[in-house]
Structure 1
Amino acid sequence: MLRRLTARQLTFDVVVSVFCVLVRLAMTVEFNLAEITFVLCMGAALATRRLSPPIALVIAWLGAVVQMFGGFPPDLANLSILAVLYATAAYGSDRVKWLGLISAGAGALVAAAYLVLLPSMMNGWEMSPASIPIGSLPVTVFVFAFTVGAMATLLGLSWTLGLLTRTRAAARASRQAQARAEEEERQARQQAIVEQERNRIARDMHDVVAHSLAVVIAQADGARFALRADPDAASGALSTIATVAREALGDVRVLLEQLRHSQVEGPQPTLDDLRQLLEQVRASGLPVSDSTIGIQRELSAAHQMAVYRIVQEALTNVLRHGDAGRPVSVVFDWTGPDLSIVVDSATHGAVPPERTLVGHGLAGMRERATLIGGTFAAGPRGDRFVVEASIPAPELSSPPPTHQHGVSLG
């Protein structure tokens, strides 16, 4: 029955109520218990209108009854009734809301009867209907009907304003709920994209890891027969290496199968394939220029695949979303400890913020760079859209299994 209010709201309501009660009591010429009770009831109703609209409505009715039995004329204290009716419609439950509307109608009838039909209860305070000659029933009915209409309009207007406030608050809450739902949907969509990309990366990593372990097994088996010094110890050690490697290969395949639930075999791209990729993009009509700074180094198969996929996705995004008629530059910078890749393209205009967060290509590039220890950033710069990736490029002691010779892209 009690609504949750902030300390500031509760303090404000109490202070306003106390102030109104003091002002009303200061206007009293002669104090009596009934009048003080009436004023305190109206003040209490005003103070509790937001904290508990039904309690405030009951207190307001109690004050009105005390006022009528005391024969007091309408005064400023009755304005509390308007505030209470507003609160029932704005903050009350559905039942309290409709009770407020019923109270507005009943209050109009009771007030009209009190003011027009029972003027003798006002202790000498007379309205014009009090001087109406007995028998002027049509005039009395007219005045009564007019008073009912005026009171109903006044009380109903307060209730209607509260209902409008309630409707606006409900609409605002609905918009907020919709915004939260859209945000949750966006996050779920982003998570789904990441999961899809993880599955795709799992497929790529399968071939890399499987091939590498297969090479280890082959080398271990070959060395087992090649070594002749201390053949028993060497044979046992190398046999253990081959056994462990085979078991590791099986475990990796099981884990990857659990990760992606399906497996699609296929050759994995290397740095050698970048030249063909760029030529294919140029053939599609996109003017792409590429340059290499520094001396190219050998990368592992996983790192080469990440470089290829990042460049591929970046150029695909240009074809889908960028201005395909303006030049695109791809720069490979080997001068630092990491390989820096920059793809700079033109846009059709302002880039929406969600493009930097949700796109399949951007999510995939970010995931690939992160999984191999690199970094990724993408976003608009004026009328350009820049993709930047940093790929660890340590010196390898021997060439990776899937790549025998470095290829300069410059």
Structure 2
Amino acid sequence: MFRPVSRTWLALDIVGAVIGFGLTVGIPLVPGSGGLSVWIVDGGWSVTAYLVVGAIVWGAAAIARLAPALALCVAWFGALLQMAAGLPPVPFDFGVLVVLFATAAWGSRRLLWLGGASALGGGIVGGAYFGLAWSGELITDAASVMRAALTSVLLGSLFVLAMVMAWGAGLLWRVVLAGRATQVARAQAETVAAEEQERVRIARDMHDVVAHSLAVVIAQADGARYAAAAKPEMATEALGTIAQTARGALSDVRMLLTQLRHRQGDGPQPTLADLETLFAQVRHAGIEPRITVDPVPPGEPPAAIQLAVYRILQEALTNAIRHGDGAVDVHLAWLPDRVEIRVANTVAPGPAPVQLGQSGHGLIGMRERAQLVGGSLHAERRGAQFHVYGMLPIGVTS
């Protein structure tokens, strides 16, 4: 029944209704303002009824935004009371137009069509009443009946036109409000989607950095523990690799946290030039990758492609460190319109990891990396080997 309306709008509606009442009801009663005051008083019409009906109509207009359904009912009551009191068409009937506007602009879907029906039906009823009661024609013969009927049709057409125009203006405003609400909802949805994409990107980067670095650290720590007694120099070298890897991971994590806190852009990202550093870390972890690049890049690939290649190889080699037996084959084919990535490693003997090749953040991250640049990635276990194949479109490089 009642809509949530701010106090400001409610106060403006009430003030507007009071002004409308004064202009359309009070001013015509001022002596010397015109023929309406003389006609009401000298014609024997009740000034009280005139004021009461005017107050009812503009009261309905005052609450039209707050309660459109109630306002429509009050306006109908005022119109019927006006006809029952025998009052002619007067300026305060403009308040009805305000109510019809409100039913179309802020009413429910059902009230919207009730307002349209009221505009049509009210115009017809009003035209018939005022045409027959106030045409000044005495109904004595067929000609007078015809003249009264024509007057009713003319007045009814004018009333219907005015009321339908007021209702149509409200409908147009309803469409405008709906468009604004849709734009706001779309903007909010786009903001939520962008924030979710940012969280997923940072989570993916965090996983790539931390998982790879920890895999290298764990492999070096295990190797240093076994080599400490026989070859202390190897243990020292392993500890140096651990420290270097941990510092690099800490730097990357700090950069990611800075992006998350301040949203200052992506910052520097790995490129193809950093692959040698990645391969060196893998070698220090005890894995010797056999790398083949054929054909080589014909030019400078896009930065997004370089980042995707680096991260996919980083995760694939991390899986080889964690689950492999020390051998891994890496093949890159830089074709004119795409780059193909193949990584294959022998899985260490023993029970296969549950998530290997099936799910897990690493595999999901690799697939997301490929999909972000319009490519695809497949990973599966074939017998004793685990294969990763990715295809990333790059267009013609220059």
TM-score with structure 1 setting the length: 0.52
Q: Deviation of residue 45 (structure 1)?
A: 1.0
Q: 1:17 to 1:311 in 2, by over 3 A?
A: closer
1:32 aligns with 2:47: yes
Q: 1:197 to 1:281 in 2, by over 3 A?
A: farther
* Alignment counterpart, residue 170 of structure 2, candidates 162, 166, 170: 162
* Contact 2:128 2:152 (8 Å CA) reproduced: yes
Counterpart amino acid of residue 8 in structure 2:
R
* Contact 2:216 2:281 (8 Å CA) reproduced: no
Q: What residue number does 1:313 align with?
A: 307
Q: What residue number does 2:298 align with?
A: 284
Q: What residue number does 1:124 align with?
A: none
* Contact 2:83 2:129 (8 Å CA) reproduced: yes
Q: What residue number does 1:15 align with?
A: 15
Counterpart amino acid of residue 163 in structure 1:
L
Q: What residue number does 2:88 align with?
A: 73
Q: Deviation of residue 93 (structure 1)?
A: 0.7
Q: Deviation of residue 135 (structure 1)?
A: 1.6
Q: What residue number does 2:271 align with?
A: none
* Alignment counterpart, residue 268 of structure 1, candidates 266, 278, 281: 278
Give, in whole Å, the separation in 2 of the partners of 1:133 and 1:313: 96
Question: Once the two structures are superposed, what CA deviation does each residue of 1:173-210 show, in whole Å capped at 9, x if it has no partner?
Answer: 12222222233223323333333333322442233211
Aligned counterparts, 1:99-178, within 5 A? 99-119=114-134, 127=135, 130=137, 134-136=141-143, 137-178=145-186
* Contact 2:308 2:369 (8 Å CA) reproduced: no
Q: What residue number does 1:352 align with?
A: none
* Contact 2:127 2:157 (8 Å CA) reproduced: no
Q: Deviation of residue 132 (structure 1)?
A: 6.8
1:57 aligns with 2:72: yes
State the identity %: 26
Give, in whole Å, the separation in 2 of the partners of 1:310 and 1:112: 72
Counterpart amino acid of residue 18 in structure 2:
V
* Structure 1, unaligned runs of 5 or more: 120-126, 225-265, 274-278, 288-308, 317-358, 364-410
Q: What residue number does 1:211 align with?
A: 219
Over aligned residues, Cα RMSD in angstroms? 3.9
Counterpart amino acid of residue 63 in structure 1:
G
Q: 1:310 to 1:216 in 2, by over 3 A?
A: farther
Q: Deviation of residue 219 (structure 1)?
A: 5.2
Q: 1:35 to 1:142 in 2, by over 3 A?
A: closer
Q: Deviation of residue 147 (structure 1)?
A: 2.3
* Contact 1:13 1:47 (8 Å CA) reproduced: yes
Q: 1:183 to 1:62 in 2, by over 3 A?
A: same
Which portions of structure 1, spanning 4 or more consecutive aligned residues, are displaced by more than 4 angstroms?
219-224, 270-273, 279-283, 309-312
| Secondary structure, aligned partner of 2:142 | coil
Aligned counterparts, 1:252-263, within 5 A? none
The count of residues paired between Structure 1 and Structure 2 equals 248
* Structure 2, unaligned runs of 5 or more: 30-36, 233-275, 284-292, 311-367, 373-398
| Secondary structure, aligned partner of 1:90 | helix
Q: 1:281 to 1:159 in 2, by over 3 A?
A: farther
Q: Deviation of residue 133 (structure 1)?
A: 5.4
* Contact 1:37 1:66 (8 Å CA) reproduced: no
Question: Once the two structures are superposed, what CA deviation does each residue of 1:368-408 show, in whole Å capped at 9, x if it has no partner?
Answer: xxxxxxxxxxxxxxxxxxxxxxxxxxxxxxxxxxxxxxxxx
Counterpart amino acid of residue 141 in structure 2:
I
Q: What residue number does 1:90 align with?
A: 105
Counterpart amino acid of residue 213 in structure 1:
A
Q: What residue number does 2:247 align with?
A: none
| Secondary structure, aligned partner of 1:27 | helix
Aligned counterparts, 1:222-237, within 5 A? none
| Secondary structure, aligned partner of 1:5 | coil
Give, in whole Å, the separation in 2 of the partners of 1:10 and 1:176: 24
Give, in whole Å, the separation in 1 of the partners of 2:305 and 2:106: 58
Counterpart amino acid of residue 214 in structure 2:
H
Counterpart amino acid of residue 16 in structure 1:
G
Question: Once the two structures are superposed, what CA deviation does each residue of 1:31-88 show, in whole Å capped at 9, x if it has no partner?
Answer: 7331221111012111101011111111111111221122222222110100100000
Give, in whole Å, the separation in 2 of the partners of 1:117 and 1:269: 99
Counterpart amino acid of residue 27 in structure 1:
P
Q: Deviation of residue 160 (structure 1)?
A: 0.9
Highest RCO, 1 vs 2 (Cα 8 Å, sep ≥ 6): 1
Counterpart amino acid of residue 82 in structure 1:
L
Q: Deviation of residue 283 (structure 1)?
A: 5.8
TM-score with structure 2 setting the length: 0.53
Question: Once the two structures are superposed, what CA deviation does each residue of 1:139-179 show, in whole Å capped at 9, x if it has no partner?
Answer: 33333222222211111111111111111211221222222
Aligned counterparts, 1:358-377, within 5 A? none
* Contact 1:49 1:56 (8 Å CA) reproduced: yes
Counterpart amino acid of residue 74 in structure 2:
I
Q: 1:214 to 1:163 in 2, by over 3 A?
A: same
Q: Deviation of residue 3 (structure 1)?
A: 1.1
* Contact 2:115 2:167 (8 Å CA) reproduced: yes
* Alignment counterpart, residue 194 of structure 1, candidates 183, 199, 202: 202
Counterpart amino acid of residue 114 in structure 2:
L
> Is 73-82 or 175-184 further displaced after alignment?
175-184
Give, in whole Å, the separation in 2 of the partners of 1:219 and 1:272: 18
